[in-house]
Chains A and B, each alone.
Chain A
Amino acid sequence: MKLTTTLAGALAASTCLAGMASAQTDVTMWYHGAGNDVEANILNTLIEDFNGSQGDYRVVVESFPQESYNDSVVAAALAGNLPDIIDVDGPVMPNWAWAGYMQPLTIDPSKFDAFLPGTKGMWDGKLYSIGLWDAAVSLYARQSTLDTLGLRTPTLDAPWSKVEFMGALEAAKTSGTCEYAFDVGMAWTGEWYPYAFSPFLQSFGGDIVDRSTYKTAEGALNGDAAQEFGAWWQSLFTEGYTPGTSQDPADRDTGFIDGKYCFSWNGNWAAVATLDAGVDDVVFLPSPDFGNGSVIGAGSWQFGVSASSDNAEGANAFIEFATQDKYLAAFSDGIGLIPATPTAAALTTNYAEGGPLNVYFGLSEGQALVRPVSPAYVVQAKVFEKALADIANGADVADTLDAAVDEINADIEKNSGYGH
C-alpha cells in the first residue's frame, strides 16, 4: 500500500513537472551570429535565463551566418516562413517594417529612454526594434605620429576642422613615414560605404536623401555641399592620400598595425585587435568637422517581432528581458561592441570610465547619426556605394551625383514614396 502511494505520488509529481514544461509555448527566433562562438554562448545563456524565468514561453533559436542572413529572412518572408523573433540590422528595419515583415514592439518605449539613439529602431513613429549594442567609427592614429608631425590631438569637444585634417594628411604624406596618409577602407564594400562614408557627406552639409520628406535626394546628394564633399572625396585619391578601390583586403586589416597607413578610418570592432597587435599608443579620434559638425554612423543589430508571429506577447517578453544591463554588458565584453546604456557600459571592461574603449561611448552618444530611416535605404545604400566608388575612380563628381539622385528618385517614385 505504501509502495503504491509512493508510486502514485511520484507519477503525479512527474506529470505536473512534465505538464509545466510542456505548457511553455515555443517562441522561435532567428539570429545572425552563426559562427561566432562567443556571441552564441552569451545568447544561449540569455535564452536559458529567460526560459527558466517564467513558465509561459520557451525561446528556440536558429542561427544564420551574418553575410547571408538578410537574404534568408527575405526569402522566408516570401515563403511565409518567418519565426516569431527576428534580429534585424538597424538601417534595414524600416524596409522590413514597410514590407510587412515586422510588427511594432508592444514594450513601453520609455523603458529605453537611456538607450543610445542608434539602438532604437523607429519607423512611422513606432518602435519596431531595439538593439543591445551599437557600433561606432573613429579615426585611428598613433599618439607618436601626432607628436612627430606636431599635430594637435583632437577631442570630442574640439575635433579637427577640415583645414586641420587636411593639414594632418599633408603632413603625414610629406613626412614619408607611411605609404598612405589615410586608409578609409576601400577594400570593404557593401554597407561599409554608407555607414562609414555618408557621415563625411553629412558633415559637409549634404545627405543621401532629403530627410525632411524622404521623397527625394535632389539637393541633398547633389547640392553645393554634396558637390564639395564629392570633390574632397575624389581629392583623397587623386592627391595620393588614400589607397583606392583596388586596395588589398589584407592591407585593410593590417595596414595601420604595420605602419603602412598613418591614419585609418575604422570601427570599434577592430580596436581590441589593434591593441592586441601591440599598437600601444593608438588613439581613437573623433571624426573631423567638415563644416556641419562631426558625424559618425550608428545603428547595429536589433531585435524585433515578425508580423506573422502567433506569439508576439512571448516575443516581446523575451526582448524586454534581453535588454537588462547585465546582458548588454555581457554582449559588449564578449563581442566588443558598445553597450546600449551608460549603466551597462559601467559594467564592462572596455567601455567603463577609464576603459581602453570608453571614448567610443562618448562618440556614439555625441556624434552618431543613423542612416536614412526609410524603406528606400536598402536601394539608396547601393546607389551611394556605386557613386562613391566611381568618384574615387575618377568619374565626374557632378554627373555621378546627379545620376545617383536620378536613380534614388526613380526608385522612390516606383515604390509610391515608400509610405512616407
Chain B
Amino acid sequence: MATINPDNHGLRLATRYVVLTLIAVIFIFPLLFMVMSSFKPDLQLLRDTSGIRAFLPVGDLSFDNYSAAFKRAPVGTFVFNSVLVTGVTVALSLFFCSLAAFSFVFLNWKGRNILLSIIIATLIVPFETIAIPLLLLVSKLPWIGLEGLQIGWLNTYRVQIIPWIADGLTIFLFVQYFKDLPRELIEASRVEGASWWQIYTKVVMPLAGPVMATAAILKFLVMYNQYLWPLIVVQQETYRPVMVGLQYFFQLNTAWGEIMAYLTLITVPVLAFYLVLQRAFIASIASTGVKG
C-alpha cells in the first residue's frame, strides 16, 4: 500500500507554488510595466526601462499621459467602436456558428461531412491572403438601409462585422462540444415531439455554456485586436477601432507615456470580459481538451 511522505508532499507543493508564482510574475510583469509607465513622463519612462524601476511606481508620477492621450486621439470613440463591433460580432457569431454546428452534428443531410471538412480547412488560410479580394468584394456590395440603396460597404460598422460572423474555428469548437453531448437527450426530445428549433434552444444551448464562453473569449480577442481589416476598409475616424487608433501615438518623436496610458485604457475591456467568463472558459478547456 502506497504511503504519502509528508515531507515530500510539502516540498512538492512548495516547488509547485514557486514555479506557478514565477510564471504568474512573468505574465504579470508586462502589464505592470504598462500601467506603471503610463504614469511617468517619457524621459523617465525610457531611463527606467534598464532596471527594476520600470515596474515600480517611483519618480514623477501623474495622470498627464492619460489627459494627453485623450487630447491626441478620440479614445472614447475608438473604444466605443471596438466594443460595439466586437460585441455585435461575438453575439451573432455565437448564434450562427452554433446553428451551423448543430446542423452538422444532429441533422442528417447529404455532403455535411465534406462541407465540415472544407470549413475546418479554412483554418489554415491566413486572413492576409484573402484581405484584398474581400476588400474588392465589400467595396462593390449593395446595401439597403434608411438612406435607400447604397453601393459599397466601406466606412461602416457592417463592413467590420458581417465578414467576421462565421468562422471555421468557432464552428469547429461547437461541433466538438455538441458531439460529446448524449445522443439520448436529442432522441428523447424527438420522441417527445420537439422540433429541431426547440431542441436547439431548449436542450442543446442550455448545456453549451462552457463552449459559448470559450468561443466568445476567442472571438472577442480576434475582434478587439482587429487591425488590418479596419485599416483598409475604414477611412473615416468615426468608425476606427482601438488598434488602428494606437497608431495616432507613433509620431516622429514617439509619445511612449501616452502609448502606455492608451494601452492601459484599451486593455480594461479585455480583462473585464475575460474575468467575467474565465470560470466557464477553463471548464470548457478542461472538458473539450481544446487549448486556447
Contacts and interface: CB of A to CB of B under 8 A. Distances in A.
Interface of A: 30, 34-37, 62-68, 71-72, 75-76, 78-81, 248, 250, 253-254, 258, 267, 269-270, 273, 277, 335
A270 B236 CA distance: 30
Given A30-B235, A63-B237, A37 B47 contact: no
Nearest to B71: A37
B49 A78 contact: no
Contacts of B132: 75, 78
B250 to A, nearest CB: 5
B72 A81 contact: no
A35 B237 CA distance: 11
Contacts of B249: 35
A65 B244 contact: yes
Interface in B178-219: none
B231 A269 contact: no
Contacts of A250: 46-47, 49-50
Interface of B: 42-43, 46-47, 49-50, 71-73, 132, 135-136, 139, 152, 154, 231-233, 235-237, 244-245, 247-254
A18 to B, nearest CB: 23
B71 A71 contact: no
Contacts of A277: 43
Given A63-B237, A258-B47, A78 B251 contact: no
B244 A68 contact: yes
Given A78-B135, A248-B49, A35 B251 contact: yes
Given A62-B236, A67-B250, A72-B235, A35 B139 contact: no
Contact of A34 (B50, B139, B237, B252): B237
Contacts, number: 83
B233 A75 contact: yes
Decide if the interface of chain B is mainly helix, strand, loop or mixed. Answer: helix
A333 B288 CA distance: 62
A68 B226 CA distance: 14
23 contacts: A35-B72, A35-B247, A35-B248, A37-B71, A37-B72, A62-B235, A62-B237, A65-B245, A65-B247, A65-B250, A66-B251, A75-B132, A75-B135, A75-B233, A79-B154, A79-B233, A80-B139, A81-B152, A250-B49, A254-B43, A254-B46, A254-B47, A270-B252
A258 B236 CA distance: 41
Nearest to B54: A250
A269 B49 contact: no
Contacts of B72: 35-37
A78 B231 CA distance: 13
Contact of A71 (B152, B154, B231): B231
Nearest to B232: A75
Contacts of B236: 62
A76 B247 contact: no
A67 B248 CA distance: 8
Given A72-B235, A250-B46, 17 more contacts: A30-B235, A34-B248, A35-B251, A37-B72, A62-B237, A68-B247, A78-B135, A79-B139, A250-B50, A253-B42, A253-B46, A253-B253, A254-B46, A269-B253, A270-B253, A273-B253, A277-B43
A70 B155 CA distance: 17
Contacts of B73: 34-35
Contact of B231 (A30, A35, A68, A79): A68
B250 A66 contact: yes
Contacts of B43: 254, 277
A34 B238 CA distance: 13
Nearest to B248: A35
A79 B252 contact: no
List the 5 closest pairs (A to B, CB-CB), nearest first: A35-B248, A65-B247, A75-B232, A79-B139, A250-B46
